[in-house]
Structure 1
């Protein structure tokens, strides 16, 4: 068998756009090399994915598996942004219910590999039983995966406070750990078991134990020590696949939206606009929203804010801007409550900085466009992402109360002005420019994909020789 034979790779991401989009980016890069992809998700999610470039469509099969009905999960909810945070656990149960139709698909389509997310803890065993090579593709950076206990160690962390210091198995000095307010939220939803639900930590441990290899969204130039530690902890190949910077296929649907946004940005002073967005899942509390808004107003900087007022198809607690805020900031700021073309906005010269939740896709999009980062974490892995960026002096986090995560309008205003316009923040602006050569390097990205494919092919060749 030749080393460069065509592979058939199945992909099964978690039901969140922050997971599906990096999986789709990797799928496109693999398909560009002439390999077949089966991208598996639910019908509504497949229909909401960005359009594929026509030359890749024949190689990427978008497989729709209907999501099973689950008690307490609203009909039509198929992705995390469709439900309130407290209801994500029901979406996980529905995702587990895809095991049977996925088994049928794998039995009939015979992929060479299946790459899957951290949640389907039952999939490594299933793939092995069907004779399919399988790998965990982590959209989390290596530091976050290393933060989770290796399966062969006994968990000693029993309280939220235990998660606010680096784990004992990290052998090098680091400040990477959750802050207490982040650990409390993580502990309630990911570490402690609820009713009969399987915890996120249990799921990830089972995946790490059962997979044949680990693919990580990242590169050796950025976190070499964490990637090496993952190999040592799990005793299996760990392959960085690059940062997977977002690529857009513009089929014309967003032209009108972008035209009006660009018209406003074109009138702004270069490098002074704050772009504000917290991803598809994070919804600030009313108090947080008020402080963010009044902080933007106090900063005096022009801003473009993509604001998610509701989370889920039925959110009975919408959040509202302070009285008079939009009138007082009219002309200087725009609040957009619908979809906005983030990549295009970040690419505009008027934007000087990005106030973000530190979700990794947003970080990559900002740094590939040389935008300075101001961080305000909300959920999941964002705390670890923020610590890694802080440790490397790539981003600045808004000061917060450690126990409850609260912050003030003054700290928002001061942080934004410091990072975007003041001399003290030049460090962050310079670092963002420096990082763009790493985060936006298409040639380096291409080499990482070649390396991944070389491994996937050689593994199959060994099995069949």
Structure 2
């Protein structure tokens, strides 16, 4: 149907989970939507909003931050408002506090009356309260289609898993995947995240939250593109029988963030980092970082460190020794490691400018946990990937990347997840220098266009917005009674 120009602009509320690996992709999508003149109400807690990257002035008129404080919850420190502030065992209390935001979110929907709300997996209650307020909803998940497709239909997700024996099914390709695929969890990955499947002290397990969110939404959106995983997007359409929209990879190179990461001046401490990178040979440096939520065990840290030492490759390592100030178990580098690798390697225990580092010509590969934001950033700058997944969707991401010969995973014990310093060193040398690693280096370059093409990214956002606009017009013409039909 034709959309009248005066009716084109939408007001969209966004409710991401309280993890920067979720909030930042939501914010990237918000910028793409704001670029088209639509209004965004971005809902989060006061401290999280203050820690988000400053918006370029061009987006400020369109993106409004809505601050909703977390209720006080026993066992959750008052200043902890995101997963980055907490060790893993305390994140369940953050979910309890997050669930306590639902009345405030409902009140916002009543008063602001947005045209749509985009909500994340943890806010599984957002779909029902949106319906109560006559606001259609989008379950926008930052995971890729392969991850969501592997997990299965909403009723099965909501039923959950009662025991370790039941969890073993997650180590094989599911029956609803009709094509050959190696996408499945390793046993050690399942064992490490049993609470995500079986539950914790919060009112719902992670897997239940995913299922309930998918079941209650009007439309499913995810960080993907049809050229990259067409079969998995089809699996989602078959499983959920509702509209499925990939929103693109949301590469940082496809939206104006106020500067060009490659050319903007490196300031302060960054200048020291740049000087060191400038002194290294092209494509020789291994960049090592495991995101904001991963802290290796002490044994894993020791093997990674010795592996870097054995590889003889120059490296820049962003190391998180603890997960927030309330993490009492700090990990430490092997004695004498920094002295032995001085000049050849740098260990940074604070913040580092990841995009600037990845954009530097001396960086040849990225040793990463396989978080999808890190994968997208690496491919955007044509960096080869060496994978060491730990939690959540990381293992499934790694399987898909391996299938596509886009990355190489460090070999590990299937049950324990252990790995050796030799396997670390050999994997790094293979990908950065070896003939066998040439395919990973070349695919990192060839996939850049798919991941970081501005026109392609614009197309995905435009397709989504056209659908959302059209549905609003249908609602108006039918007195807000029409249900969304699959397109």
Aligned-residue Cα RMSD (Å) equals: 1.6
- Between the aligned partners of 2:199 and 2:21, the Cα distance in structure 1 is 24
Change in Cα spacing, 1:156 to 1:31, as seen in structure 2 (3 Å) is closer
- Between the aligned partners of 2:120 and 2:399, the Cα distance in structure 1 is 23
Match of 1:319 among 295, 312, 331: 331
SS of structure 1 residue aligned to 2:386: strand
- 1:219 equivalent in alignment to 2:225: yes
Q: Deviations for 1:207-264, whole angstroms, at most 9, x for unmatched residues?
A: 1111000011010000000111101110100000000012543599972232211111
SS of structure 1 residue aligned to 2:268: helix
The answer as to whether partners of 1:164 and 1:177 remain within 8 angstroms in 2 is yes
- Between the aligned partners of 2:362 and 2:426, the Cα distance in structure 1 is 20
Alignment of 1:88-237 (within 5 A): 88-153=91-156, 158=163, 159=165, 160-186=167-193, 188-195=194-201, 197-237=203-243
Q: Which residue of 2 aligns with 1:297?
A: 309
The answer as to whether partners of 2:141 and 2:221 remain within 8 angstroms in 1 is yes
- 1:48 equivalent in alignment to 2:51: yes
Of 404-413 and 256-265, deviating more is 256-265
Structure 1, gaps ≥5 residues long: none
Q: Deviations for 1:95-127, whole angstroms, at most 9, x for unmatched residues?
A: 000001111111111100000001111111100
SS of structure 2 residue aligned to 1:39: strand
- Between the aligned partners of 2:407 and 2:390, the Cα distance in structure 1 is 16
SS of structure 1 residue aligned to 2:436: helix
The answer as to whether partners of 1:77 and 1:313 remain within 8 angstroms in 2 is no
- 1:420 equivalent in alignment to 2:412: no
Q: Report how far residue 304 of structure 1 moved.
A: 0.3
The answer as to whether partners of 2:188 and 2:416 remain within 8 angstroms in 1 is yes
Q: TM-score if structure 2 supplies the norm length?
A: 0.93
The answer as to whether partners of 1:148 and 1:205 remain within 8 angstroms in 2 is no
- Between the aligned partners of 1:190 and 1:55, the Cα distance in structure 2 is 39
- Between the aligned partners of 1:142 and 1:267, the Cα distance in structure 2 is 40
- 1:437 equivalent in alignment to 2:440: no
Q: TM-score if structure 1 supplies the norm length?
A: 0.97
SS of structure 2 residue aligned to 1:312: coil
- Between the aligned partners of 2:258 and 2:83, the Cα distance in structure 1 is 24
Structure 2, gaps ≥5 residues long: 478-487
Q: Report how far residue 441 of structure 1 moved.
A: 0.7
- 1:71 equivalent in alignment to 2:74: yes
- Between the aligned partners of 1:8 and 1:349, the Cα distance in structure 2 is 41
- Between the aligned partners of 1:75 and 1:120, the Cα distance in structure 2 is 21
- Between the aligned partners of 1:23 and 1:150, the Cα distance in structure 2 is 24
SS of structure 1 residue aligned to 2:42: strand
The answer as to whether partners of 2:152 and 2:239 remain within 8 angstroms in 1 is no
Q: Report how far residue 196 of structure 1 moved.
A: 5.6
Q: Which residue of 1 aligns with 2:36?
A: 33
The answer as to whether partners of 1:372 and 1:420 remain within 8 angstroms in 2 is yes
- 1:264 equivalent in alignment to 2:271: no
Q: Report how far residue 330 of structure 1 moved.
A: 0.5
The answer as to whether partners of 2:71 and 2:100 remain within 8 angstroms in 1 is yes
- Between the aligned partners of 1:151 and 1:409, the Cα distance in structure 2 is 41
Q: Kindly tell me the number of residue pairs found equivalent between the two proteins.
A: 464
- Between the aligned partners of 2:142 and 2:467, the Cα distance in structure 1 is 19
The answer as to whether partners of 1:80 and 1:88 remain within 8 angstroms in 2 is yes
Match of 2:469 among 450, 457, 462: 457
Q: Report how far residue 148 of structure 1 moved.
A: 2.0
Q: Report how far residue 312 of structure 1 moved.
A: 2.1
- 1:329 equivalent in alignment to 2:336: no
Q: Deviations for 1:410-448, whole angstroms, at most 9, x for unmatched residues?
A: 000000000001111001000101111111111100111
Q: Report how far residue 456 of structure 1 moved.
A: 0.6
